[in-house]
């Protein structure tokens, strides 16, 4: 066991760090101004320009298999990259990737949907959640009924990330009510690829974050049989499986943000004088700094272990849930302490802490709430799927 990054990993970390410092952090004031004026955080043109610069530096399709033109650097490298890029709140993502679920498509679907998504020509979104079914995904109501060679989709989805911008959605709908009931929702649902011009509508949902997800409405939307992704009636596992393997990504984002925020708090505490001394000399402040540093390290190791385990070909879902649960809560604790250390200034819009504070709250909700992660972790242990202390 070697508990240090390899030279190659260190090089990638350093390159991304430079990219973040040189290209992204200088955009932070623009992003804050755009968002406060109700504009997109980054214009599509600016995002493309940044993605091209990153591509020139070799960062494109970081996790995309080589056969689709990607770099296929693996999960550990992805974790390192994500932790670095999350040190800014500028919402940048590297180009050349697609939702993993699209890799389950057949050759024709890969040509029509996967490759254009990887190449940035098309945007996708994934829609499971409905107004009556969030954590309890087996309670979805959206239906797909066969009519000749087509399926007729009716229902609503909600809180869909990217749903306002997407060219197509991968939507989960019930295709066999009886099978759905008799298998307690495990079967009888299917994933459909549905182009926007097939007729679904989206509406922006205002949240406490800066860019909203969408509500989607399907009214008699006709979808051909060839747009079924994966197997008929087996869409539930398809949807949940790839989410389960990738949940640690939320923890990685939290680690990056928390490291930057903690550094801001350390710097500020050395400058801010109260009662004749910098607040950094007060134990009350030091303990907040120490607790934050310990929690960040712990979250980082969970994230790296979840990523490493998947690279190693093992089922990482238990660790991914742990990294998501702990990382999301760590991020919320740290941003709250950092705001407290900044006093009244922390609460103003002069500093970006309040923005991070609002964003961090989402980490505990999407991709499965805190409570659902605890449920998964406890169930794995109680049922013996995972042994206590199994991973190291």
Ligand X SMILES: Cc1cc2nc3c(=O)[nH]c(=O)nc-3n(C[C@H](O)[C@H](O)[C@H](O)COP(=O)(O)OP(=O)(O)OC[C@H]3O[C@@H](n4cnc5c(N)ncnc54)[C@H](O)[C@@H]3O)c2cc1C
Closer CB to ligand X, residue 49 or residue 371? 371
Closer CB to ligand X, residue 126 or residue 248? 126
What minimum distance in Å lies between the beta carbon of 138 and ligand X? Answer: 11
Q: How deeply is 242 buried, as exposed, middle or buried, from its count of CB atoms within 10 A (0-12, 13-18, 19+)?
A: middle
Q: Does 160 bind ligand X (CB under 6 A)?
A: yes
Closer CB to ligand X, residue 4 or residue 206? 206
Residue from 232, 266, 362, 381 that binds ligand X (CB under 6 A)?
362
Residue from 225, 267, 281, 371 that binds ligand X (CB under 6 A)?
371
Task: Identify the H or E element spanning 157.
Answer: strand 150-160
Q: How far apart are CA 278 and CA 276, in angstroms?
A: 7
Q: How deeply is 311 buried, as exposed, middle or buried, from its count of CB atoms within 10 A (0-12, 13-18, 19+)?
A: middle
Q: Does 321 bind ligand X (CB under 6 A)?
A: no
Q: How far apart are CA 354 and CA 347, in angstroms?
A: 6
Secondary structure class of 388 (helix, strand, coil): coil
Region binding ligand X by CB under 6 A among candidate stretches 55-63, 72-80, 157-165, 286-294? 157-165
Taking alpha carbons only, the member of 282, 263, 260, 284 closest to residue 273 is: 282
Q: Does 127 bind ligand X (CB under 6 A)?
A: yes
Closest residue to bound ligand X by CB = 134
Q: Convert residues 182-221 into a mask of x (bound to ligand X by CB under 6 A) and - (unbound).
A: -------------------------x-----x--------
Closer CB to ligand X, residue 21 or residue 371? 371
Taking alpha carbons only, the member of 173, 293, 302, 184 closest to residue 238 is: 173
Torsion angles phi and psi, residue 325, rounded to 5: -65, -50
Interacting residues with ligand X (CB under 6 A): 125-129, 134-136, 159-161, 207, 213, 362, 365-366, 368-369, 371-372, 375
């Amino acid at each position: 066991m070697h508990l240090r990054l390899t030279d190659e990993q260190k090089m990638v970390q350093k390159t991304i760090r430079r990219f973040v410092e040189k290209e992204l952090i200088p955009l932070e004031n623009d992003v804050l101004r755009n968002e406060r004026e109700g504009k997109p955080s980054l214009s599509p043109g600016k995002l493309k320009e940044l993605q091209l610069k990153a591509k020139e530096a070799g960062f494109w399709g970081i996790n995309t298999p080589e056969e689709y033109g990607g770099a296929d650097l693996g999960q550990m490298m992805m974790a390192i990259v994500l932790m670095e890029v999350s040190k800014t709140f500028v919402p940048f993502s590297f180009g050349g990737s697609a939702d993993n679920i699209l890799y389950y498509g057949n050759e024709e679907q890969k040509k029509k949907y996967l490759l254009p998504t990887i190449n940035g020509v098309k945007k996708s979104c994934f829609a499971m959640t409905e107004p009556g079914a969030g954590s309890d995904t087996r309670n979805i109501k959206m239906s797909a009924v066969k009519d000749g060679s087509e399926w007729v989709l009716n229902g609503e989805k909600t809180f869909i990330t990217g749903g306002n911008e997407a060219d197509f959605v991968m939507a989960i709908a019930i295709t066999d009510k009886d099978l759905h009931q008799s298998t307690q929702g495990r079967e009888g649902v299917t994933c459909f690829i549905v182009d926007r011009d097939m007729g679904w509508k989206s509406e922006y949902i205002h949240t406490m974050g800066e860019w909203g997800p969408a509500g989607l409405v399907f009214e008699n939307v006709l979808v051909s049989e060839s747009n079924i992704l994966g197997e008929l009636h087996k869409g539930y596992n398809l949807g949940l499986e790839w989410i389960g393997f990738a949940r640690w990504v939320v923890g990685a984002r939290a680690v990056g943000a928390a490291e930057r925020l903690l550094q801001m708090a350390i710097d500020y505490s050395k400058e801010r004088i109260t009662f004749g001394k910098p607040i950094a000399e007060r134990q009350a402040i030091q303990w907040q700094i120490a607790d934050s540093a310990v929690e960040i390290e712990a979250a980082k190791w969970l994230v790296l272990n979840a990523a490493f385990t998947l690279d190693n070909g093992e089922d990482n879902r238990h660790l991914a849930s742990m990294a998501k649960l702990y990382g999301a809560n760590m991020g919320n604790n740290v941003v709250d302490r950092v705001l407290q250390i900044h006093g009244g200034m922390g609460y103003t819009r002069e500093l970006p802490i309040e923005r991070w504070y609002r964003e961090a709250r989402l980490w505990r909700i999407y991709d499965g709430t805190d409570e659902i992660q605890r449920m998964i972790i406890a169930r794995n242990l109680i049922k013996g799927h995972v042994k206590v202390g199994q991973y190291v």
